[in-house]
């Protein structure tokens, strides 16, 4: 119930305006977000890479309704990639970028798909020049077909373009089977949006079973699985399955969100696994933060405690 309410809140314009205008403590946002500026993103990326993590950086923002805003987001990614390259952080894909298709135009009323395709191609070109890659985040279920279409089209020119499959969707095992070709970079996550029972598994147990099924398909395939979860049980299953199918440590990676289970991230990295941290930055943190609160009541308590300690 609480999760549904928070997910509804994450999509509400009124709640967004109200909460973003509230003087939230810096601590709450800073726990999950690198900061508001490109400098903040570079500083935290540098620290994470020095700590043996890989990084994927997300410039916060989604559901862009204006072509100029979509072009602005694209510019920011291109600038970021140039700076990562200058700082020596993007070589060999150590720091890459994650892009939400609706942030670069997919949801525009006119020519959305074409605009997103052109903008992502610009970002992917900048990533290639910086020696790294792009992963397209997956958003709510209405965006799946257009996003997978973008991936298919763009992979002709950018075969290392990553995509995301969400295990809460009933279709996901089939999508995974279609994405197991050599070099195919696929992030598997549970899914952070609201979706009707007609398209999504209703219970956590079913979502977890679907995750394990999708993970098996990806690990048995020829692509590059990126296993994005904080779930200790699924991480254990991943390690076992990777061993059974004879995967080398550099042929797949674990991914976790910045600020969540840092000790587990360190443990996996120390054990020789590749661990990539998803690092958001920017001032448009509202939707991202509320989705994190929806995932875990303890995060909500942290948020409320920080608010009350300020007032
Ligand atoms: C790198 C990355 C990229 C993502 N990209 C996308 C995307 O493109 N599209 C999308 O829809 N979603 C994305 N997500 C979000 C994802 O879909 C889930 O909503 C989110 O990861 C929570 O799911 P979980 O697998 O951690 O499992 P949950 O069911 O939320 O948690 C499982 C268990 O993990 C542990 N755990 C979780 N959180 C914490 C915590 N804060 N502290 C301690 N233990 C904790 C607990 O033991 C918990 O029981 C991404 C997630 C990651 C990690």
Q: Does the beta carbon of 260 lie inside 6 Å of ligand 1?
A: yes
Residue 21's pLDDT is 65
Q: Which atom of ligand 1 is nearest to the CA of 299?
A: 41
Q: Which residue lies with its CA nearest to atom 41 of ligand 1?
A: 260
Q: How far is the CA of 159 from the centre of ligand 1 (A)?
A: 27
79's CB contacts (< 8 A; 6+ apart) are: 38
Q: Which atom of ligand 1 is nearest to the CA of 234?
A: 25
Q: Is 261 a catalytic residue?
A: no
Q: Which atom of ligand 1 is nearest to the CA of 211?
A: 25
Angle at 55 between CA 162 and CA 9, to 5 degrees: 80
Q: Does the beta carbon of 137 lie inside 6 Å of ligand 1?
A: yes
- CA dist 298 and 296 (Å) reads 5
Phi/psi at 255 (nearest 5 deg)? -135, 140
Q: How far is the CA of 81 from the centre of ligand 1 (A)?
A: 26
User: The pTM is what?
Assistant: 0.92
Residue 308's pLDDT is 57
Residue 165's pLDDT is 98
For the four alpha carbons of 197, 203, 204 and 210, in that order, the dihedral sign comes to negative
Q: Which residue lies with its CA nearest to atom 48 of ligand 1?
A: 231
Q: Which residue lies with its CA nearest to atom 5 of ligand 1?
A: 137
Q: How far is the CA of 256 from the centre of ligand 1 (A)?
A: 7
Q: 14, exposed or middle or buried, with CB in 10 Å at 0-12, 13-18, 19+?
A: exposed
Q: How far is the CA of 74 from the centre of ligand 1 (A)?
A: 26
For residue 197, what are the CA distances in angstroms to 90, 164, 190, 210? 40, 20, 15, 14
Test site for ligand 1: of 175, 186, 189, 287, most ligand atoms within 8 A of the Cβ: 189
Q: Does the beta carbon of 138 lie inside 6 Å of ligand 1?
A: yes
Q: Is 160 a catalytic residue?
A: no
Q: Does the beta carbon of 214 lie inside 6 Å of ligand 1?
A: no
Which of 58, 94, 137, 155 does the annotation list as catalytic? 137
Q: Does the beta carbon of 299 lie inside 6 Å of ligand 1?
A: yes
Residue 296's pLDDT is 77
Residue 217's pLDDT is 98
Q: What is the mean pLDDT of each run of 10 residues along the chain (311 residues)?
A: 73 70 67 92 98 97 90 98 98 97 96 98 98 98 97 98 98 98 97 94 96 98 98 98 97 96 96 98 85 77 58 36
- CA dist 127 and 217 (Å) reads 28
Q: How far is the CA of 190 from the centre of ligand 1 (A)?
A: 7
Residue 310's pLDDT is 42
- CA dist 44 and 41 (Å) reads 5
């Amino acid at each position: 119930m609480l999760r549904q309410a928070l997910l509804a809140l994450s999509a509400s314009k009124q709640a967004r305006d109200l909460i973003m205008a509230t003087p939230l403590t810096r601590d709450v946002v800073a726990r999950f977000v690198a900061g508001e500026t490109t400098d903040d993103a570079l500083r935290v990326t540098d620290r994470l890479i020095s700590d043996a993590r890989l990084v994927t950086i997300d410039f916060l923002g989604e559901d862009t309704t204006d072509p100029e805003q979509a072009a602005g987001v694209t510019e920011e990614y291109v600038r970021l990639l140039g700076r990562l390259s200058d700082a020596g952080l993007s070589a060999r894909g150590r720091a890459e970028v994650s892009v939400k298709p609706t942030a670069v135009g997919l949801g525009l009323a006119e020519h959305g798909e074409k605009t997103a395709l052109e903008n992502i191609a610009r970002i992917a070109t900048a990533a290639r020049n910086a020696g790294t890659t792009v992963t397209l985040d997956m958003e709510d279920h209405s965006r799946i077909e257009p996003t997978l279409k973008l991936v298919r089209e763009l992979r002709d020119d950018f075969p290392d373009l990553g995509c995301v499959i969400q295990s809460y969707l009933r279709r996901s095992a089939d999508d995974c089977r279609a994405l197991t070709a050599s070099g195919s970079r696929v992030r598997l996550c549970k899914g952070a949006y609201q979706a009707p029972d007609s398209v999504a598994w209703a219970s956590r147990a079913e979502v977890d079973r679907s995750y394990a099924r999708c993970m098996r398909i990806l690990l048995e395939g020829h692509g590059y699985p990126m296993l994005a979860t904080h779930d200790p049980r699924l991480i254990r299953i991943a390690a076992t399955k990777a061993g059974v199918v004879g995967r080398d440590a550099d042929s797949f990676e674990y991914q976790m969100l910045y600020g969540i289970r840092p000790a587990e991230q360190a443990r996996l990295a120390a054990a020789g696994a590749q661990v990539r941290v998803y690092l958001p930055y920017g001032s448009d943190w509202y939707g991202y933060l509320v989705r994190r609160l929806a995932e875990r009541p303890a995060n909500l308590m942290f948020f409320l405690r920080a608010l009350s300690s300020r007032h």
